């Protein structure tokens, strides 16, 4: 379906065209008409299917084509992380560029100037406010937030917010909203606790489900069965075998992120890191460089497994196997977004084989096992039923490390 079929205002269509949108994704085809009709929505769709535009486009259209109070917040979009708040806000600015929509992102970690801007927006009125729960609750407690005219509430990545312990914050915010409003709940998964939340805040919702807990079929998945000390040399090999333009590497700990990033830089690969130890300004700077293409390799903790809205990532590497299948789906879902194709490699040590086995059960099929380059040395067998009794270490010589003269290396 082409976006012209939704009947959007010409000003919004200019923003859609400028953003390079042509055909709507399946979730957009199903969700946008229902939102335009004023229906409450509970939607579950796999990562990278266009959920953000699915709610932003109809909300922008409804606001610019109807009479609304300019001295209140008209739409509130609540998200789990500051990264997602920034991404959605930037997406919103692009789509609404040719309209008179006013918007702001409200999240923690900013300086005094950011707080002043936030206070002004939420007290004098803004068409769309994208916020994290804790920061918005803090503003509300100070008594100046104008919510009496609010018409639209969006909870994005609702399952993630509940996992992070934001239930009470969300309910606090909702208690301060007008009872009559349109509610849109988006969640990558649909566990029981999301159903219970939906019952409390949604009114006769329409339900949309698209490929729950399954990766995009356009993602080429491969797993490398290795020893722990082979992981860094293998990452170096994978980055050099093809000219990947944007690579996102996930590690399960900040220590692993720092160690891997240091080794990549030592081997003359242009890389940087992002994790919770970094100041917010630094995290935003690194993300901006990655998003613009100036930084080809980004190493991150699961802080970015959800809530990063970048369409051009062509390779995701799981340096550590995710703790469960849902995390795996969200990690590799950072690639092959929209209509693009992508690749996802997972490095599996002996002690992580049972984790991979549980992921394969969720997927309903095995992740293809790739061949480790022979120069890295002997590798373990894939035997997840017995892997928990092994240490993941070996008693023979570690593989050689790639040196700075390796053929085909990326230069700074």
C-alpha separations of 155 from 201, 260, 366 in Å? 10, 35, 34
C-alpha separations of 80 from 187, 283, 296, 306 in Å? 11, 16, 26, 9
**Cα distance between residue 85 and residue 131, in whole Å:** 6
Strand partners, 223: 346, 369
pLDDT of residue 402: 36
End-to-end CA distance of the chain: 43
Closest by Cα among 54, 114, 46 to 306: 46
Which CATH superfamily groups domain 3-210?
A: P-loop containing nucleotide triphosphate hydrolases (3.40.50.300)
**Cα distance between residue 227 and residue 351, in whole Å:** 9
CATH of region 219-387:
3.40.50.300
Q: For the chain, where do the domains classified as CATH 3.40.50.300 start and end?
A: 3-210, 219-387
Q: Is the entire prediction scored with pTM above 0.95?
A: no
Question: Which tokens in the block code for residue 145?
Answer: 């937030």
Q: CA 223: distance to chain centroid? A: 22
**pLDDT by 10s per residue, the chain, length 412:** 889 999 999 999 999 998 878 788 888 999 999 999 999 999 986 556 688 899 999 999 999 998 776 788 999 999 998 888 988 999 999 999 999 999 999 998 777 788 899 999 999 989 999 999 999 999 999 999 999 999 999 999 898 899 889 999 999 999 999 999 999 999 877 888 898 999 999 999 999 987 545 677 889 999 999 999 999 999 999 999 888 899 999 998 889 999 999 999 999 999 999 987 888 788 889 988 998 889 999 999 876 665 566 778 999 999 999 876 767 887 888 887 765 789 999 999 999 998 898 888 878 889 999 999 999 999 999 988 765 444 445 543 333 333 333 333 333 3
């Amino acid at each position: 379906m082409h976006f012209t079929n939704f009947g959007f205002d010409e000003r919004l269509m200019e923003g859609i065209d400028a953003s390079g949108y042509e055909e709507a994704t399946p979730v957009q085809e199903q969700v946008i008409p229902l939102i335009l009709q004023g229906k409450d929505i509970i939607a579950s769709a796999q990562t990278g299917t266009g959920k953000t535009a699915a709610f932003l486009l109809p909300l922008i259209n409804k606001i610019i084509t109807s009479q609304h109070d300019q001295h209140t917040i008209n739409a509130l979009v609540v998200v789990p992380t500051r990264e997602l708040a920034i991404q959605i806000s930037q997406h919103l600015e692009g789509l609404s560029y040719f309209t008179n929509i006013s918007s702001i992102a409200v999240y923690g970690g900013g300086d005094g100037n950011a707080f002043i801007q936030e206070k002004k927006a939420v007290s004098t009125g803004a068409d769309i406010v994208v916020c994290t729960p804790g920061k918005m609750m803090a503003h509300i407690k100070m008594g100046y937030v104008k919510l009496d005219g609010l018409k639209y509430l969006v909870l994005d990545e609702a399952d993630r917010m509940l996992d992070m312990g934001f239930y009470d914050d969300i309910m606090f915010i909702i208690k301060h909203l007008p009872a009559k409003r349109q509610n849109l709940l988006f969640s990558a998964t649909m566990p029981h606790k999301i159903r219970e939340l939906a019952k409390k805040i949604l009114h006769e919702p329409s339900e949309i489900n698209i490929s729950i807990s399954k990766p995009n079929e356009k993602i080429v998945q491969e797993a490398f069965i290795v020893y722990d000390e082979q992981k860094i040399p293998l990452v170096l090999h994978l980055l050099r075998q093809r000219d990947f333009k944007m690579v996102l590497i996930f590690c399960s700990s900040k220590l692993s992120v720092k160690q891997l990033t240091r080794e990549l830089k030592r081997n003359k690969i242009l890389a940087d890191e992002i994790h919770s130890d970094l100041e917010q300004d630094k995290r935003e700077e690194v993300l901006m460089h990655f998003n613009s293409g100036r930084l080809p390799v980004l190493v991150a903790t699961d802080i970015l497994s959800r809530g990063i809205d970048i369409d051009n990532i062509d390779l995701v590497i799981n340096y550590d196997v995710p703790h469960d299948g849902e995390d795996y789906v969200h990690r590799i879902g950072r690639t092959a977004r929209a209509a693009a194709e992508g690749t996802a490699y997972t490095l599996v040590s002996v002690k992580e084989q049972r984790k991979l086995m549980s992921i394969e059960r969720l997927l309903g099929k095995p992740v293809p096992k790739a061949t480790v380059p022979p120069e890295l040395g002997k590798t373990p067998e894939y035997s997840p039923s017995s892997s928990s009794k092994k240490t993941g270490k070996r008693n023979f010589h570690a593989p050689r490390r790639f040196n700075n003269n390796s053929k085909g290396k990326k230069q700074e």
